[in-house]
Amino acid sequence: MADSASRRDAFDQQLRRFRWSNRLSITPRILAVNILPLALLGGGVFYLDGYRKQLLAERYKMARIEVQITAEALAGASRQRQEALMVQIGKEQRMRLRMFDAEGNLWADSFQLAEPAFQFDDPTDDKFSDDFAQMLDRVFDTIVGAEPIPDYIEPTEPDADAWPELRRAREEGLSQIQLRDAPDGSPVINAAAPVGLNGATLLTTRNALDITLAVREARTTLGFAVLLALFGSVLLSLYMARTIVQPLRALASAAIKVRQGRERGVEVPRLPERQDEIGVLARAVSDMTNALRQRIDAVDHFAADVAHEIKNPLASLRGALESMPKLEDPELRGQLMAIATHDVRRIDRLVTEISEASRIDAELSRATFEPIDLGQLVAAIVGARENRAENDDKRIVMNLPQTGTPVAGVPIRLERVIENLLDNAVSFSPPEGTITVTVQRNGANVELSVCDQGPGIPEEAREKVFRRFHSERPDAEAFGNHSGLGLAIARTIAEAHDGTLVAQGREDGTSGACMLLTLPQRTTATA
C-alpha cells in the first residue's frame, strides 16, 4: 500500500509539470493525441510510395540505357562474341539477356550459356517474416491506390511474341520497358531494344530486389516511428484520462452523494487551478449544488415557519368553535364568533401571502424586465394611496429628482416593494407623522429610501425585520393584521432585480427608521 501511494504521489508530481495544459481546451488535446500517429502513418505511407516510384523511374532510365548500349555492342559482333558479351554483361550487371532473330525465335540466353546471375525466391520456402513483408507490401499498395502490376511468368514458348515489350520494340524500332512482379513480390524490369538492322531484338531482365529491400527498410523505420508515436499517444491518453476522467468521476461521486442526501456536508470539488472546460464544469456544479442546498434549506425553514404560523390561528379557531356550543350567553357567543372570524381572515391572509412568497422567485426568473422610471412609479403609487386614503392621515413628502431615474424590472413587482415599504412606514409612524420618500441616483445605482418617524429599529435587529413571519408590530396595531412576510417578500423582489434592501437609522439622528432600496441604473446599452 505504501509503495502504491508513493508511486501515485510521484505520478502526481509528474502531472504537475504539465499543469500548463489545464489552460488548453479539451478538444485540441484530444485531436492532438489521436491525429499524431495517424498523421505520421499517412504521411509516411505516401512518402514511401513516392520514394518507391522515384527509385523505379531511375531504374527504368538505367534499364533503357543499358539495353540500348548492350544492343549497340551486340550489333557489330560475331555470334561467338555476342554470346561472350551476353554472359559477361549478365554476370557483371546481375541480369538476364536474351537475343531473338528476325523471325522472333530465341537463339541466345545468358542463363543457358552460363550459370544464372540471379534466381527468384520460391514462395513456398519463404519464412514468416517474408510472408509478413509481402502482406505489408500489399496493404501499403492498397492504401495508396497503386495500379496492379502483372506477375512475371516465363512463357511456355520461347519466342518474341510472348513478350509484349519485344513485340512493340520490333514494331516501333524503339526500346521498351515493362514492369512485372516476381513471385517473391520484388519488381522485375524487362527492357527490349532492336539489335542492328536485320530485325534481331534484345530482351534484358533485371530483378530489382534492392528497391524492395530499400522500401521495406524505410517502412520498417516508419513502423518504429509509428510505434513510438503510438506509445506516446498511449501515455498522453493515460495522462488525459487522469486529468479528465478522474475529476469527472469525483464530480459524479459528489453529485450522487448530494442526490442521495446521505452526506449533507459533502463538498463538490471546484478545481480552481483548472481553466479549461473541466474546471468550468466543476465550479458550475459546485455553485449549483450550493444554490440547491440553500434553496432546500429555505424551503425547509419556510415550511416549518408556515406550519408554526398557521398552527396558532388554527388553535385559536378550534378553541372558539369547541367552546361555542357550551355557552348560552349571547354576548360571549358573539365574542367567540368574532374571534373565529378574525382567525379565519388571518389564515386567509397568511395563505395568500405564503402563496405569493413561494412563487415569486419562479415568476421573476422567467420574467422579462422592462424600462421603468422609479421616480415616476413612486409618484404614481403615493398619489393612488392618497386617493384611496391608505396613508392613515400620515403625511408623505417626496423628494424626486428633475432628471429621470431609469431602472429595469417588472413594474408590478417593484410596485409591491414600494407598497410594502410604505405600509411598514405608515404602521410605525406616530399620528400625524411625516414619511419621507427620496429617489436619487448614486453612481451606477438608483436609490429609494422610505423614512418614518417611528420608534426606529435597533442596529442588532435591523436584519431580523426581513425574516419571514417577523412578528414585532406597533402596540396600537390589532393583532394578526399582518402576516410578517411583507419585508421578506420586498427583499426577495429586490434581490431578483440584482438590487438590495436594507434597514437603516435616520441620517439626522432623530427617532425613526429608513428602508433603503438600491437598484442598478438602466443604461442605453441594456435597454
445 and 520 in contact (C-beta within 8 Å)?
A: yes
Identity of the residue numbered 525: A
381 vs 208: CA distance, rounded Å: 102
Give me the mean pLDDT over the 168-188 stretch. 88
The band of 132, judged by pLDDT with boundaries at 50, 70 and 90, is low
pLDDT at site 318: 79
In percent, how much of the chain has pLDDT > 70?
78
pLDDT at site 123: 66
Give me the mean pLDDT over the 381-395 stretch. 86
Higher pLDDT pick, 211 / 167:
167
CATH class given for the domain over 25-219: alpha beta
pLDDT at site 477: 47
CA distances from 184 to 58, 147, 165, 180 (A): 22, 18, 22, 11
Strand pairing class (445-451; 500-505): unpaired
Stated as kind and residue range, the H or E segment containing 303 is helix 277-323
Give me the mean pLDDT over the 187-198 stretch. 90
The band of 36, judged by pLDDT with boundaries at 50, 70 and 90, is low
Q: Which residue's C-alpha cell is 401571502?
A: 353
* Residue 398: pLDDT over 80: yes
Residues in the chain: 527
225 vs 219: CA distance, rounded Å: 10
Helix, strand, coil percentages in the chain from 3-state DSSP, rounded to 5: 60, 15, 25
Which residues neighbour 20 within 8 Å (Cβ) at sequence distance 6 or greater?
A: none
87's grid cell: 554472359
351's grid cell: 395563505
pLDDT at site 198: 85
Give me the mean pLDDT over the 326-340 stretch. 77
Give me the mean pLDDT over the 42-55 stretch. 74
- Long-range CB contacts (< 8 A, 24+ apart) of 332-341? none
pLDDT at site 11: 46
Q: Which residue's C-alpha cell is 544464372?
A: 116
379 and 398 in contact (C-beta within 8 Å)?
A: yes
Higher pLDDT pick, 34 / 460:
460
pLDDT at site 160: 87
pLDDT at site 126: 58
Strand pairing class (500-505; 434-442): unpaired
Stated as kind and residue range, the H or E segment containing 434 is strand 434-442
Give me the mean pLDDT over the 99-104 stretch. 90
pLDDT at site 526: 43
pLDDT at site 317: 76
C-alpha angle 119/120/126, rounded to 5°?
130
The count of C-alpha atoms lying within 13 angstroms of the C-alpha of 384, restricted to the half-sphere facing its C-beta, is 10
Range picked from 142-146, 260-264, 273-277 for highest mean pLDDT = 273-277
18 vs 236: CA distance, rounded Å: 11
Give me the mean pLDDT over the 116-137 stretch. 71
* Closest to 177 measured CA to CA, from 191, 187, 188, 163: 191
Q: What is the pTM of this model?
A: 0.46
CATH topology of 25-219 equal to that of 368-527? no
In percent, how much of the chain has pLDDT > 90?
22
120 vs 104: CA distance, rounded Å: 26
Higher pLDDT pick, 266 / 288:
288
440 vs 444: CA distance, rounded Å: 11
The residue extents of the domains of the chain are 25-219, 368-527
190 vs 210: CA distance, rounded Å: 16
Q: Which residue's C-alpha cell is 533503357?
A: 64
The band of 31, judged by pLDDT with boundaries at 50, 70 and 90, is low
The string of pLDDT tens digits covering residues 334-367 is 877 887 787 787 777 667 766 666 667 667 767 7
Query: Within its chain, how far is the Cα of 409 from the centroid?
Result: 34
108 and 98 in contact (C-beta within 8 Å)?
A: yes
pLDDT at site 476: 47
DSSP string, 159-199: BGGG-HHHHHHHHHSS-EEEEEE-TTS-EEEEEEEEETTTT
The band of 292, judged by pLDDT with boundaries at 50, 70 and 90, is confident
Give me the mean pLDDT over the 415-442 stretch. 89
The band of 42, judged by pLDDT with boundaries at 50, 70 and 90, is low
- The CATH fold assigned to 368-527 is Heat Shock Protein 90 (3.30.565)
* Residue 84: pLDDT over 90: yes
The band of 18, judged by pLDDT with boundaries at 50, 70 and 90, is very low
Higher pLDDT pick, 62 / 44:
62
Give me the mean pLDDT over the 324-336 stretch. 77
Stated as kind and residue range, the H or E segment containing 438 is strand 434-442
DSSP state, 368? P
* Closest to 357 measured CA to CA, from 516, 200, 466, 204: 466
Instruction: State the distance between the two ends of the chain, measured CA to CA, in whole angstroms.
Output: 63
436 and 378 in contact (C-beta within 8 Å)?
A: no
pLDDT at site 500: 93
DSSP state, 371? E
pLDDT at site 478: 47
129 vs 216: CA distance, rounded Å: 12
C-alpha angle 217/220/226, rounded to 5°?
145
82 and 72 in contact (C-beta within 8 Å)?
A: no
DSSP state, 244? I
Higher pLDDT pick, 68 / 356:
68
Give me the mean pLDDT over the 284-292 stretch. 81
201 and 194 in contact (C-beta within 8 Å)?
A: yes
Strand pairing class (187-195; 513-520): unpaired
pLDDT at site 309: 63
The string of pLDDT tens digits covering residues 457-487 is 888 888 888 877 666 655 544 444 455 677 8
488 vs 418: CA distance, rounded Å: 13
| Averaged confidence pLDDT in the chain | 79
433 and 452 in contact (C-beta within 8 Å)?
A: yes
